[in-house]
Each structure stands twice: as C-alpha cells, then as structure tokens.
Chain A
C-alpha cells in the first residue's frame, strides 16, 4: 500500500496556516462531551493534556511514574531550539526548517518539519509565560547558544536542566487543569492494550501498578505520548521504565510502525563501568564546544595514564577527519568515529570502550573558572559516577543509544492509520527523519502538544459522535480478559532466569548486531536469534509474586516481552533499508572514506510496517517523500 501523509500542498510557507483554516472545529459547548485519553505525560503528553483540558475537552491522562513530573523528558540537559533569531545571526523559520531536513538526512516530511519550525517560536513564548527560568543575559533578555553543531545560536536553555524546566512548565499547566477538573490524572498506571472498535481506537486497557487492578478506560480518541524505545538496547540514556509497550500494543492492534531502525546513538555518554551496570548517563554534548576528542595513536599507549601521553602521540581523530566541523560534527558522525577508533584497538578505559574528551586546552585558554561556570554541573556529575576529576584528567566518553527517530506512523494531523489514535512526541516517527539534531526533540514534543494536536484533533472529533464506545463494549471486555490472561501467563512460567537476564541478553545482541554499524550478516543473525530468546523467555522466565499487588518484576517482564517482539521488527527494517542514512549505518553502503551512502533512488520513503502475527513477517507500506523546498543533496560535514 502506498501511504498518504496528507500533507497539504502548495507553497510551504503557508501550508500550516491554510490547513488550520480548512480543518473542522468542535463547537465549544460540545467539547466536554468528548473524552480524550492521553497516555504519557512527558513534554508531549503533559502539554497536550493541559491544552486540551483548557479547551474544554474531558481528558484522562496516564503515566507509569508516581507523578507526571517525572517523565523522562526531565532528563534533557542541553536545550530547545527555536527560530527566534534573537541574536540577529541570520536565523529564520526557513533556516531551522532547512537544517532539520538536512540534519535528518532527507528522510522526513517537509510540511511537518516546516510546521515545527514555524511554531517553535510560540513554544518559547509559552514557556516563558509559564515561568520557565531560561538563561538570560545581563540586559535581562533571553540568552541563546549554538548547540549540536548548528551554525546559528538558536538554542534556549535553563542551566543544564532544560528538559526539567520545560517539563515542570508543562506539568504545572497540567496541574492547573487537574485542579480545575478538566483533566483526571492516573499516575502509576500502565497502558497494556489498545482497544480498537469498528476500526477506530476508542479505549485503552491499563494496569494500576499499585493494586494490580486491570481495567479499561473508554474515550473518543487516544493519544500516545509514551516516548522512545531505545531501551531495546538495554543500556541506554533512557530511564529504566521507558519501554515500547504502549506503541507495540497499538502496533499489534493495527497501527503501522514507521522507520523503527532509525535510532540515535549519542556520542558523549559516560562509558559502562561493568556488566552489572543498568543505565548509561549522558553528558551534554555542549562539552564538545570546548572539549577535544582523542585517543592514543598507538595501541600500546591505551593503558597509560592520559596525561603521560605526549601531544604528538595523540590522535585528535574528529579534527583529523572533519577539519571544518571538527569536534562539533553531528552526533551520528561523532559516534561512529569514536567506535571506529575503539574497533581499531585504540579505545581507553574498561574494555577499551572509551575515548578521551579533553578540556585541557580550553582550561589553559580560558581558565578553570570559566570552564567551571560553563560546565561545573557536568564535571560534578562525572566525578560522582567515575570518581575522576575532569579538570585534571581528560574525561572518558563513549556513544550510547539515546533517541528513537522511528515510531508509530502518523499523518500530518498526527493521526496514525487507525482513526482516533494520535501519536505525539518521541513516540511518533515524524519530523526527525533518520537523525535528530540536538535540541529538537524537546521542540517537537511541545510543538505537538501545545500547538498541533489542539487543532488537528478537532478535525477527527468533529466527524465522530461522542461516546460511541463505552467500557462495557465487547471489544473492551475482550481486551481486559486478554490482558489478564497475558499477565497470568507471565506469572505462571516460573522458570529459572530473571527478566533482567533476558533483557541484558537481548540488549547485547541488539547493540552488537544492530547498533552503530549494521550489516546484512549481523542483521540476519539477529533476526534468526531473537525468536529463540523470545521462546526461551516464555519457557524459562521467572516472575514472582501475583498480579494483584505492587509487582515490579511483573512490570519489567511485560516490557521485556514487548521488546523481544519489537526488536525483530527493528532489525527487519534495518535489513530492508539497503542504504546508510542518518543514524542508520549499513557497512555495505559507504563511500571509500567511510561516509554514509544514501540511496535516494530507491529508499526515499518512510517505511511503515504492518503487524501480521507473531510468526509472520510484517508487511511493508511505503510513504514516498518529496523534497520540493530543500533539494536532495549529499550531507557533508567535512
């Protein structure tokens, strides 16, 4: 099937404005009759729930943490982009649009990206009005920095805690609506199934994580804002609870999964210290503004203390390979370069999986005090984790899975192929193409929640009668029974291996076979091995306790079971995409100098997969991508 993203045609500058005018509206007095279920209260979910509640819809919101304030958006450090052009350095909506399309390696829909760039400015206004304490200059105006290799300073930030402050802003708006009563919040509640009745998404089945109660919530539309899935690699910068579960359950109910193989590896994470480790910590890549990446030129030097290695024996590999961007090369390029050095046997630290990020020269140039002011909290964090003083010894970093560009397929209205199912934030595939530029995910989450969904949802709701499906609908009852049965099944295996062991095994496999560099062989092997792990899981997993209580083993087991199915799809997508683009690097497709080789002739499309059953290969649907405003060109950062 050829998919239609329903992006409006015509001059790109006016697509969104025209579309907004052409969309249907819901009469103000009718809004409260529509119930909207918002799953996830990160930036995307909280901003959507708050805005929809404010418009007068009847909203129910869910998250698995004990408070909406704890969604993983809270962890974003670096900043959020907007085309404000406050520094007067030549930024514009068009430039942000252009950079995002190019950064995504030409695998995103133009109209969606344009809209993102257009509303980016409203986001900053909104957040400031909410009391988000963005950094300011001495005149009292908002401060900007250049981030992630952008040529203009368009990133707004709040110390190293931008995501936290933005989320707290959205959370406070949400809290206001909860108080008013337009939004009902269900924390510690996990969505375990999507109910599709008569072809439309109308309800979700959830488990109350405290009591274990499994129940259904019916509504008129379902919004999935459940974040990314890179925990499929087990070790990632994501929170422990991030999972693919909500997306996967929707996928199994018919929602198409788009571009699952587009995952981003972040270059500046603290390397793994040992097998027991359960989570990798990211350090803001702003460090690359003042730090230089290097490894020893000779393998023999790798175990020496870094300060004893003389300048001429150091290989500043990014500066060597990418003279014009140097240490600021985009994430996928910087990550791959680090891996190459380590594969070459010149990595440092435990297991040779690390490169140095050295701020020595900047400290010498600017003084330790200036560096402390800029990055003090990062140095502190580094020291807490590694017990090493980054001012004295170069820090060690290594790439780690960080972000999922892929997600459920959505059209221009953010609606999936299932009517009534909308997908926002990191959970959808939309604007980042094959690679996300720094500081653009926060922008997307808030754009979707504050400024897109409040309009586009009306386009759907205005065409449906409220309350079509209630909790005692046959499909709802069936879903509850299925979830209960599934839970019982997990609890009854009573084998010998823990859930974590399976997750670790799967993660290892995924990282080695489908990580930073992928090949036909590695992917085929992964696709062959995953079903075996899955099978063993269902025969040999050990999940204790009961379903009627607070049971973290059970939560993890369910999430792992979904990763065990999803991982296969991810590998299949990677195998099917016979090109290298953005975060997806196939070793077969590269230029002689090691650069990624895109194939616009054959792969300039969105790959959207349809579930066909556990033992059947998924079916591929394509949405061709057209580039009318930014011309397809080879991405070069030399």
Chain B
C-alpha cells in the first residue's frame, strides 16, 4: 500500500505511440519519453504530461479520446501494450494508474484497430458504427408519455439484475478492438440481452435482434469465433454469455418468423 505522505518515487518511461495525421494519411510509430511520472498519475495524466511537453516544444500533441476520466463515459480508447485499456481487470485506460508500470518500461500505444472504426487521428477512432447498431433496434418504441405506471409490471429481481449486468456496457468498443475478428458481438449481445430479460423488450424482440445483427454486418464488423478476448478486455466485465443469449434470441426470432407470427426485418413478404 502506498503512503501518500511520503515522497513519490518518480519513473521514466519510453512510449512508442501510433501517430497518424488524419483518416486517409499514413501512420507510423514515434518514440517519446515520459519523465517525472509518479505511481499516482493515471495513465491519461501521464499522457497529459507528455503532451504538455510536446506543446511547449511546438510539436503536435498526441490526440486521444477521453472525457469523464472516471471509467463511465466510454470515450477513452487506447491499446496499451497490446491490450485495449491496458489489461487491468475491469478498468478503463483513464482509470489505469501508473503504479501498474515500472521505471524504465517501454509502452506501446495504439488506437482501436478494426475496419469498422476508421482512425481519425493518432489514437482517436470513429466509433459511430456502434451508434448505428443501436439505431437499428436498441430501444423500445415507447412514446414519451402514455406509458403505464412503473410498478404495473413486476420484474423479478433476478431478471432485473441480469438486465443490469448487460446494461453496464459503456460502449467503449474495447471488445471490438480486442477481438481477433473485429466483431462487435459483445456490445450488441449485451444490448439485446438487456431487453430480452425485461418484459418491456418482448414485443419488438424479433425485429430488434434481426435489425441489430444486420447492422453489425453492414457496418463491417466481423463474426464471432468464440475467442472470448472481448470479455477479457471489457472494462465492465460484460460476460460472453450475452453473446450466447443473442444467438439464442436470434434463433428464437428466426423460428417465430418462419412460423409466421413475425416477419424478419429485411426479409420481405415472401
């Protein structure tokens, strides 16, 4: 345990960072040195220090996405030494602290890499594809107002906890970045499972799963071959059981579509 009253040890680190000016520009690695870093710096505060120095030297600071810096907005997105968010369990890179590193360490920083996430600059990627997936069905089509009293439909605590486990996803996209196939199955599976567990989600279940699965494909995400890297990298520990649930929901929907009670989106009226 650290003693806050004692002097901080400081460390010096070598950073090898992916630099890319814009979406269609070539990128390359550049090496920087981070000095005077203490164990209490968060990873992004360490980058702030490096950037301040770059700015003073008149150089272009390293662009990286971040906002809340408390592990909830899902904005931060950097692959640290080959692991999205840096590999501390259930921790976003903004909450990763430098005490996990040693003086003299070399650290590789790369952006999320997946076809569906074009690089905008340096470590910043465009994750709009995840929004597209939600737009394809990640909601209930209720109107504002005109809904029943909140307590009119009880939901068992178990189902509601299950839905909440799934709903914790922060939409950071680390699952995609970690997946050898660039698949967004964990993200999509979590959303579908949340609604699948709740009574409010039942009516539109078939259309939802069909729409969202289609959107995944259209956006250029890959398929799942059950590597489970996604769960390991997920800062919220979203479980791959939600991918299984999505698959199950998909089959259920397909079966219901075949039996005529629903049509699958995009399937026409044949």
Q: Show the binding face of A for B, using Cβ within 8 Å.
A: 47, 50-51, 54, 65-70, 72, 74-75, 84, 86, 122, 124-131, 133-142, 158-159, 161, 164-165, 168, 171-173, 175-176, 178-179, 185, 187, 210, 239-241, 273-274, 276-279, 281-282, 303, 349-350, 380-381, 384-389, 393, 450-451, 454, 496, 498, 500, 542, 544-545, 549-550, 552-553
Contact = CB atoms under 8 A, between A and B. Distances in A.
B151 A142 contact: yes
Nearest to B44: A278
Contacts of B124: 550
B86 to A, nearest CB: 12
B156 interface: yes
Contacts of B73: 65, 70, 72, 74-75, 239
Contacts of A171: 134
B12 interface: no
29 contacts: A47-B144, A54-B144, A66-B127, A68-B131, A69-B171, A70-B73, A72-B67, A74-B68, A75-B70, A126-B142, A128-B200, A129-B142, A130-B140, A131-B139, A141-B151, A141-B154, A173-B142, A173-B144, A175-B139, A187-B128, A274-B40, A350-B4, A381-B70, A384-B71, A387-B1, A387-B97, A500-B48, A542-B56, A550-B22
Interface in B256-270: none
A140 B156 contact: yes
A452 to B, nearest CB: 11
Nearest to A387: B2
Q: Which 4 A-B pairs have the closest CB atoms?
A: A140-B154, A172-B139, A129-B147, A128-B150
Contacts of B60: 544-545
A171 B1 CA distance: 40
Nearest to B66: A240
Given A136-B160, A141-B154, A381 B55 contact: no
Given A75-B68, A125-B150, 12 more contacts: A67-B128, A69-B74, A129-B150, A136-B160, A140-B156, A171-B134, A172-B139, A350-B5, A385-B97, A450-B144, A500-B48, A553-B55
A52 B85 CA distance: 37
Contacts of A451: 144-145
B206 to A, nearest CB: 16
B78 to A, nearest CB: 14
Contacts of A72: 67-68, 73
Which of B68, B75, B90, B167 is the most central at the interface, judged by chain A CB atoms within 10 Å of its CB?
B68
Interface in B212-251: none
A139 B124 CA distance: 46
A131 B150 contact: no
B2 A173 contact: no
A65 B55 contact: no
Nearest to B151: A141
A240 B150 CA distance: 35
A637 to B, nearest CB: 29
Given A124-B150, A159-B164, A550-B121, A51 B68 contact: no
B65 A66 contact: yes
B55 A241 contact: no
Which of A72, A176, A389 is the most central at the interface, judged by chain B CB atoms within 10 Å of its CB?
A176
B186 interface: no
Contacts of B70: 75, 279, 281-282, 381
A130 B142 contact: yes
B130 interface: yes
Contacts of B143: 54
A75 B72 contact: yes
A542 B55 contact: yes
Nearest to A380: B90
Nearest to A276: B45
B84 interface: no
A24 to B, nearest CB: 19
Contact of A552 (B58, B63, B142): B63
Contacts of B149: 125
Interface string B36-53: 001111101100110010
Interface of B is mostly: loop
Given A125-B149, A126-B145, A129-B142, A550 B69 contact: no
Contacts of B154: 136, 139-141
B151 A303 contact: no
Contacts of B121: 549-550
Q: How large is the interface on B (under 10, 10 to 19, 20 to 34, 35 or more residues)?
A: 35 or more
A158 B115 CA distance: 34
Nearest to A185: B131
A278 B140 contact: no
Nearest to A209: B120
B67 A241 contact: yes
Contacts of A388: 1-2
B141 to A, nearest CB: 6
B167 A140 contact: no
A381 B155 CA distance: 29
Contact of A173 (B21, B49, B139): B139
A187 B72 CA distance: 18
Given A67-B130, A549-B22, A500 B52 contact: yes
Which of A386, A542, A544 is the most central at the interface, judged by chain B CB atoms within 10 Å of its CB?
A544
B7 to A, nearest CB: 11
B31 interface: no
A545 B59 CA distance: 8
A373 to B, nearest CB: 12
Contacts of B131: 67-69, 175, 178, 185, 187
Contacts of B120: 210, 550
Interface string B151-174: 101111100110110011011000
Which of B21, B70, B149 is the most central at the interface, judged by chain A CB atoms within 10 Å of its CB?
B70
B164 A133 contact: yes
Contacts of A386: 2, 4
A69 B72 CA distance: 10
Given A51-B144, A67-B171, A131 B194 contact: yes
A72 B136 CA distance: 24
B28 interface: no
Interface in B80-99: 88, 90-91, 95, 97, 99
A274 to B, nearest CB: 6
Which of A51, A129, A136, A350 is the most central at the interface, judged by chain B CB atoms within 10 Å of its CB?
A129
Interface string B185-211: 000000000110010110000000000
A184 to B, nearest CB: 12
A404 B75 CA distance: 23
Nearest to A393: B1
B111 interface: no
A130 B200 contact: yes
A388 B130 CA distance: 36
B159 to A, nearest CB: 8
A270 B90 CA distance: 19
Contacts of A185: 131
A176 B58 contact: no
A161 B167 CA distance: 10
B198 A553 contact: no
B180 interface: no
B157 A136 contact: yes
B8 interface: yes
A274 B66 contact: no
A138 B155 CA distance: 9
Contacts of B141: 176
A261 B145 CA distance: 35
A468 B40 CA distance: 55
Contacts of B164: 133, 135, 158-159, 165
B64 to A, nearest CB: 8
B144 A239 contact: no
A544 B97 contact: no
B139 A130 contact: yes
A274 B38 contact: yes
